[in-house]
Amino acid sequence: MPSPFDVLQVDRDADEETVHQAYRRRVKEVHPDQGGSAREFQLVQSAYETIVEGTAESWYETNGTDEPATAAESAPEPDPNVHVEYLDYEAVVANGWELGDDELFRKARRAGLDDDAYGELTVEPGDYLLEAAEGAGFDWPFSCRGGACANCAVLVVGGELEMTVDNVLSDELVAQGIQLSCIGTPVSDDLQVVYNVKDLPGLEELQLPSRTS
């Protein structure tokens, strides 16, 4: 149902003179003698009266706004998934890169590595990182799948990964960014991890015999 302003073809904040001029024009356009109809004529008259009487705003209260949705209203729903950029530690070593290099992931992006070594995957809310990697077809290292070894360790370079159960990692390793992907749930919108870091100092002695998925 058109608003009174739509009927007169003026903006909602049009001034009195603009409304009056629009009314005069519209009345001529829809007059039955000019090819219009009695219903259209009445509609224009009614719209004009509603606006000049100052009651047009109540039309919106009754019918809602017919204005285009604001940017916030029409914005797509935020993506609840976490986007993870991963890099295989073997690729770090093979290319002579350093884990502490601020440019590490930028270098990896430009290196043309295979999908196994570098890429992005998506983790659904509450899912474990290792499971998400396996679900994406990757074969990341693991053994116990319960926080009792370091086979599935990753180095978190950006974002946050939260471990959900007690585990074998020392506070010192955790402070360095080491987390366990089998019990690690991303809690930031984005995450950057170097996986396959199980042979780093302090982790090697925590390994259990490897298993494959």
- Which CB sits closer to ligand FES, 19 or 169? 169
How far apart CA 140 and CA 86 sit, in angstroms, is: 11
- Which CB sits closer to ligand FES, 87 or 183? 183
For the chain, the helix, strand and coil percentages under 3-state DSSP, each to the nearest 5: 35, 15, 45
- Which CB sits closer to ligand FES, 94 or 165? 165
How far apart CA 99 and CA 87 sit, in angstroms, is: 11
First to last CA, the chain: 60
CB of 118 to ligand FES, least distance (A): 22
- Which CB sits closer to ligand FES, 26 or 198? 198
CB of 207 to ligand FES, least distance (A): 9
- Which CB sits closer to ligand FES, 59 or 142? 142
Alpha helices by DSSP H, the chain: 4-8, 16-30, 38-52, 56-63, 71-74, 89-94, 104-110, 129-135, 171-175
CB of 178 to ligand FES, least distance (A): 11
How far apart CA 202 and CA 173 sit, in angstroms, is: 8
CB of 109 to ligand FES, least distance (A): 27
Indicate the length of the chain as a whole number. Answer: 213
> Which residues contact ligand FES by CB under 6 A?
142-145, 147-149, 151-152, 180, 182
CB of 95 to ligand FES, least distance (A): 26
Closest residue to ligand FES: CB criterion: 182
